[in-house]
Structure 1
Amino acid sequence: MEREFDRNHRLSNGYFGSFTMAPLSSLALAGSISSFFITRIHSAMFPPLAEVNVENIIMRRELWKLLISKFYVTDPKQIILTVILILHFKKFEKRYGSRKFASYLCSVFLISLLFELALLYLSSKRHWGLASLPNGPLAVIFSLFVPFYFDIPRIVRAAVIGIPVSGKAIAYICGLQISSSSLESLCVSLIGIAAGGLFRSNFLFLKKYFMIPKIIGTICHKLFSPLLWEVDKVTRTNYGATLELQHLEEEERIEQAMIRATMRIQGNQNAHAGRSLRTWLMGRGAAVVPAEDKVLTLTNMGFNREQAAQALRLYNNDLAQATNHLLAANR
C-alpha cells in the first residue's frame, strides 16, 4: 500500500520535497514569514498599517484595510503556530491538486471576509466592544480544520496517562492556542470553521461556481512553479530534515494508504454482499438436521417426507413456520 501511495502522490521525505506538489502551501509559508518581518520593521518606524476595528471599517468605511490585513501577520506567537498549521494542512493541496485547493481558499476567503464585516457591523450596533481583529489569514487556516477533522484518519502515535494521542493532536493544540489568545481571535476562528463548513456542505453550490478556470491555473503554474520549490524527481534520501517533518510525511503516507485500503475493502464487501446473501438463503438449512418427530408430524398432516425435512431445515426445526411454508407452497 505504501508503494502505491508513493507512486500516485510522489511524496518525498526530503526537506524541500516536503512541499513537492504543494506550491500554494510553500507560497503561503514564505509569504507569512516574510510579511511578519516586513511589518515588524515597518511598525518600528511608522504607525500600524491596517487596524481592523469598528472605527476604521464601519465608521470610516475603509474596507481596504480589512482586505489588506489578511496578507500579513504581526503577532510572533501567531506566526509560529501558523507555520506549524501550514505544515499540517499542505496535505490537502497534495491530495486534491493546486487548482481545487486554490478554489477552496478563495471561496472561504470571500465568505470569511463577509462574516468578519458582519461581525464588525453588529459590534458597532450592539456595542460589544470588540478590539481590532487579528491580522493574517486566520479564518482561512481555521477553515481547513473542517476537512482535517472529517477526512484525515486518526492515527494513534503515543499514550499519555493512558489517553491515546494521535498525530492530529499537534494541529488541534496549535489551533486552540491561537483561538484562545483573545475574544477577537476566537470569533475569527469560529468564522473560519463556519466558512469551511459551508463550503463542505456545498452551500449555494459553492463548489461549482467558485472553481478557478483551468487556463488560469495553467498560467500560474508556468509562471510561478520555478520559484516554488517544485521537484519532479522523488528522492528517498533524507537531506537534513527535522524529525517532526519526517513524522508528518510518514503520517501522510499512512493516512493515504489507510484510506485506499478502506475503499478497497468496502468495494469488495459490497460486491460480496449480494453473493453471500444468495448463498445463505440457498444453503441456510444445510447444516440443520430435521427432528424425526417433527418430520413424522408433518407427514401425518399429508405432506411427503422430503418436503417436510426441507422445510424443517429451512426454518431451523420450527414446526409452526415449516407448516406455514408447506401450506403456502401447496396452495
Structure 2
Amino acid sequence: MNGGLPGFHNAPASRALVVAAALFSVPFGFRGRFLDLGLSYQNVYERLSIWRLITSLFAFSSTPELIFGAALLYYFRVFERQIGSNKYAVFIVFSTMVSVLLQILALGYLKDPSINPLTSGPYGLIFASYVPFFFDIPVSMRFRIFGLSLSDKSFVYLAGLQLLCSSGRCSVVPGVSGILAGLLYRLNTFGIRRLKFPEFVTSLFSRVSWPYSSNPYQGLPTTENDANISSHQVHQTQDAHAATQDPTESSIAVLVSMGFDRSSAVQALVMTNYDVNLASNILLEAQALQQ
C-alpha cells in the first residue's frame, strides 16, 4: 500500500494515532480477549466504565488486528496531508465520537449477547477513512490476477475486509458505524467540515511521538505548512530530473483526467520520478492549499 510520501512527513496526527494504538495494544490489547476491552451492553448501560471506553478506542485486541489497523492508519495519513492537520483532527474527533455513539445505540437496540463485547480499537476512524478513500483517491493502475480485474486500491480494500471480518459480528458493528460516520462527515452534517481547532491543539500532536531528525521530502508542497514554498525550489527539483526521459503520455492522461492541467501534471511527474501515485497525491495536496 502506498499512501504518498514515505514516513509521517507533515502528518503528526497520524503519527500520534499509530503510536497511541501501539502503546495501548501492547499492555492491554494482547490480553483483550480476557479483559473484554471492547464496549458491551453491560459496561455501557449497566456500569459505565471510562477506562474501558478509552481502551476500546485505541487498543487492538490481537496482534493481527494491530498489524492491519496500524498499516491502514499509516496509509490514510494521505488525507491529513491533503486537508491539513487541523481539519484532519476534526475528522478524527467527529468520526470517533459518532462511531462510538452508533455502537452504543446498536448495543442498546440489539441486546445481542453474541456481539458482547464489540471489538476494540480505532475501527471508527479507520472505516470512516474508507469514505474519502472511495470517493477521492483515484485508481492509477489496473491489472488482472487469475481472471479478476483489480486495481492498486484493491489491496487497501482487502486489508479493510480482513479487519472488518476479524471477529465476526463483533468487528462488523464498529466497522459499519465508522463507515456511517465517514458518510456523515462527507455530507457536511452540522457544517462539520468548516470547523477548526485552535492551533495550539493540533500542535500537541507533534509532541506525543518521536520527531524526525531529517526529512528528504522537506521541500515538497504537500500540506498547508508548506504554503510558502517558492517556485525556485520547484524549478530546482525539475532541473535535477531534466536528464531523465519525459513522462509518458499515459501517465499525463491519468492526471489530466483527474482535472489537473497538463503543465502541473508534467511537473508533478518529474518531481516524483514519474510515479503516478505520488504525483496525484502532491497535486491533490497542493490543490487543498489553495482552498
- TM-score normalised by L of structure 2: 0.68
Q: Percent identity?
A: 23
Cα deviation 1:67-92 (Å, max 9, x = unaligned):
33112112122111112212321111
Instruction: Return the match for 2:20 from 28, 31, 36.
Output: 31
1:46-195 matched pairs, under 5 angstroms: 48=35, 50-62=37-49, 64-124=51-111, 127=112, 129-181=114-166, 182-195=168-181
Q: Distance in 1 between matches of 2:120 and 2:207?
A: 28
Alignment partner, residue 229 of structure 2: none
In the superposition, relative to structure 1, how do residues 223 and 30 fare at CA in structure 2: closer, same or farther (>3 Å)? closer
| Count of residues in correspondence between the two structures | 231
CA distance in 1, matches of 2:29, 2:286: 48
Q: Distance in 1 between matches of 2:25 and 2:51?
A: 19
Deviation at 1:138, TM superposition (A): 0.8
Change over 3 Å in CA distance of 1:83–1:47 after alignment to 2: closer
Change (3 A) 1:148 1:192: same
**In terms of Rg, which structure is larger?**
1
Structure with bigger helix share is: 1
Q: Could you list the per-position Cα deviations for residues 82-113 of structure 1 after superposition, in whole angstroms to 9, with x for gaps in the alignment? A: 12212321111111111111111011111111
Instruction: Please give the alpha-carbon distance, in whole angstroms, between the structure 2 residues aligned to 1:34 and 1:56.
Output: 23
State how far apart, in whole Å, the 2-side matches of 1:63 and 1:123 are: 22
Aligned to 1:234: 217
| Secondary structure, aligned partner of 1:139 | helix
SS at match of 2:72: helix
Superimposed CA distance per residue, residues 94-145 of structure 1 (whole angstroms, 9 cap, x where no aligned partner): 1111111111101111111111111111123xx5642210111011111000
Mapped pair 1:253 → 2:275: no
Give the deviation of 1:30 after TM superposition. Answer: 2.3
Q: In structure 2, do the counterparts of structure 1 residues 183 and 48 end up closer, same or farther at CA, with 3 Å as the change threshold?
A: same
The one-character-per-residue Cα deviations of 1:275-299 (angstroms, maximum 9, x if unpaired) are: xxxxxxxxxxxxxxxxxxxxxxxxx
Does structure 2 conserve the Cα–Cα contact (< 8 Å) formed by 1:39 and 1:72?
yes
Q: TM-score, normalised by structure 1?
A: 0.61
Question: Map of 1:3-18 to 2, 5 A cutoff?
Answer: 12=5, 17-18=6-7
Q: Which amino acid aligns with 1:207?
A: R
TM superposition shift of 1:54: 1.1
Does the 8 Å CA contact 1:99/1:217 hold for their aligned counterparts? yes
Equivalent position of 1:207 in the other structure: 193
- Give the aligned CA root-mean-square deviation in angstroms: 3.3
Question: Letter of the aligned partner of 1:20 in structure 2?
Answer: H
* 8 Å CA contact retained: 1:23, 1:229: no
Cα deviation, residue 260, structure 1: 9.0
Contiguous gaps of at least 5 residues in structure 2: 219-236, 238-271
